[in-house]
């Protein structure tokens, strides 16, 4: 899968590989021994956050789980 920043796709793949392994083999099994992916995540984030700024994608200030207010049922 491509990244929104064309130059970041390789870094994304590297991070995804590390994360998927950690997620299935450590995180889900309750192993809290720490995240082996911090370096590769940092490299990937540096690239993708730059691409987001350059493309003016409106992600800033969007609260986590933002629109999760009570909603009317129609």
Footprint on this chain of other proteins (rule: CB under 8 A):
1-5, 8, 12, 15-16, 19-20, 23-24, 27-30, 32, 35, 41, 44-45, 48-49, 52, 57-59, 62, 64-68, 71-74
Nearer to other proteins, 23 or 39 (CB): 23
Distance CA(50)–CA(16), nearest Å, equals 19
DSSP 25: H
Nearest partner of 11 among 31, 37, 32, 41, judged by Cα: 41
- For residue 68, give every residue at least 6 positions away whose Cβ sits within 8 Å of its Cβ, in sequence order, or none: none
State the minimum distance, in angstroms, from the CB of residue 58 to other proteins: 5
State the minimum distance, in angstroms, from the CB of residue 39 to other proteins: 14
């Amino acid at each position: 899968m491509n990244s929104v920043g064309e130059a970041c796709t390789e870094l994304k793949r590297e991070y995804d590989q590390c994360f998927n392994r950690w997620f299935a083999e450590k995180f889900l099994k309750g192993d809290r021994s720490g995240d082996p992916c911090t370096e590769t995540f940092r490299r990937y984030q540096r690239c993708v956050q730059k691409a987001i700024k350059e493309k003016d994608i409106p992600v800033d200030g969007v609260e986590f789980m933002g629109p999760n207010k009570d909603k009317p049922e129609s």
